[in-house]
Amino acid sequence: MDKADIEKLMELAGETDRAALGTMYNAWVRKFEAYRRDDNKANLTEWQAAEKALKSKVDELTAKHLDAVDAAPLPDRKAAWEFLRAQGFKVSSGKFYGDCSKNMVKVNGDGSINEAEALAYAMRYLKKVKGGDADAALNDIFKSKAKAELDKTLVQEEKLRFELERERGNYLPKADVMTQFAVKWGTLEATLRHLLRTRARDWIYACGGDAKKFDMFVALVGSEMDEVFNSMATIEDLEISLVVDGGEHL
């Protein structure tokens, strides 16, 4: 769920829609917490169902309050002022007209005002008082609590999704990758040095060389190996190619 969209909808929605959105959000939180405590298939299914229901409601309210906002611009300042009053914002016509003159509200060339611009002005400069001071105070408390819970839940959800993706092999932690490389390079180095010590004399004989120079040969090759492995140890960036089912490279 997009936090900004939910918060915006909580501001714009009427009492009925806001209550429905709050109920679905709370259900989503409960199912998420249940799955976090016990990540079995049943809890996952219920959480996903709650998430789907919440998303459906968010999409519905988005279409109702946001997507259709610019479909029909308000014809003039008076219509825009009446629109804001109907939405529950407290502002006098004189103040609104004055704010329009101060470019606090974007007015189109023909004098019309898009609903989105009117709402943006209202959200920034006005207070929504529909329902009375008591309801407004309760609404502020609800929104503050919902925002705090939403922030916490979104962080938890992000962490959980990452852990699930990691378990599925979609993430490779850098520390784990570097550890694996260190182990493999260490094994390779030990194997090569052992091979050099045990087979160097045979290699010298095979080339018709002087076996008495065994120690010199081992020292020279060992020195070259030191440079190779030291250079590998200083590599900081790794480029990893992943191949998914079907042979597609990522």
Alpha carbon distances (Å) from 62 to 48, 98, 104, 241: 20, 30, 25, 40
Residue 135 has pLDDT above 50, yes or no: no
Residue 105 domain-assigned (yes or no)? yes
Express each pLDDT in 4-29 by its tens digit. Answer: 667 777 777 777 777 787 788 888 88
**Alpha carbon distance 232, 172 (integer Å):** 21
Mean pLDDT of the chain: 76
Comparing 188 with 152, the larger pLDDT belongs to: 188
User: 130 CB contacts (<8 Å, ≥6 apart)?
Assistant: 87, 88, 89
What was the pLDDT predicted at 133?
Answer: 44
Q: Within this chain, do residues 94 and 190 fall inside the same structural domain, yes or no? A: no
Which amino acid is residue 3, in one-letter code? Answer: K
pLDDT at residue 199 in the model: 86
Residues 154 and 207 placed together within one structural domain of the fold: no
Residue 247 located in a structural domain: no
Burial class (CB in 10 A: 0-12, 13-18, 19+), 128: middle
Which residues touch 99 (CB under 8 Å, ≥6 apart)?
A: 105, 121, 125
> What pLDDT score was predicted for residue 93?
92
Per residue in 205-233, pLDDT tens?
888 888 788 888 888 888 888 888 777 76
What is the identity of the amino acid at 56? S
189 or 69: which leads in pLDDT: 189
Same structural domain for residues 93 and 137? no
Domain of residue 86: give its range: 77-125
Of residues 113 and 164, which shows the higher confidence score? 113
